[in-house]
Structure 1
Amino acid sequence: MLFGASAVRAGVSPRAAAAWGYMVALPLPALLAPLADTVLTSGLHVVSGVTLMWLAADLYAAPAVAEGAVPTAVR
């Protein structure tokens, strides 16, 4: 959650929804692990995977920062 919070605060993801999804969707499988396998938990695994792919695609497409430069927010 700390990585997601820092990504949201720093604005490093071009789409804030990806960073928010990372912060919210990924801790939920750990919290819901004691529950039985249902459509809800299966759907949550799909949402978590999509969030990871979305965040990776956003960060891969972001412009590179020169070594030693101070990065600015990508919007």
Structure 2
Amino acid sequence: MAGCAGWLVCKVMPYPDIQQQHNLFMGDIVAAWSDNRVFRNGHWIFDDAPDELRTVHYVAGGQFYAIGKGSKFDHGPGQD
């Protein structure tokens, strides 16, 4: 999946009422992969990621943001 930060393989769960009433489907994730330039050692790390791998997030009112530089906070010993 060239150009993707991560991707999932899902099995659609059969909830026809939800699908029809809310135009929504639910999936059971059966596999997941990520680009090692943005996901390492169990964590997303976008600080030095190329622009094309920065994920886009919807806020509200038609406004979107691309993820930027992260901030790390000390949560205490043994905490990630």
The verdict on a shared fold, with TM-score over 0.5 as the criterion, is no
Pick the structure with greater CA Rg: 2
**TM norm structure 1:** 0.23
More strand by share: 2
More helix by share: 1
**TM norm structure 2:** 0.22
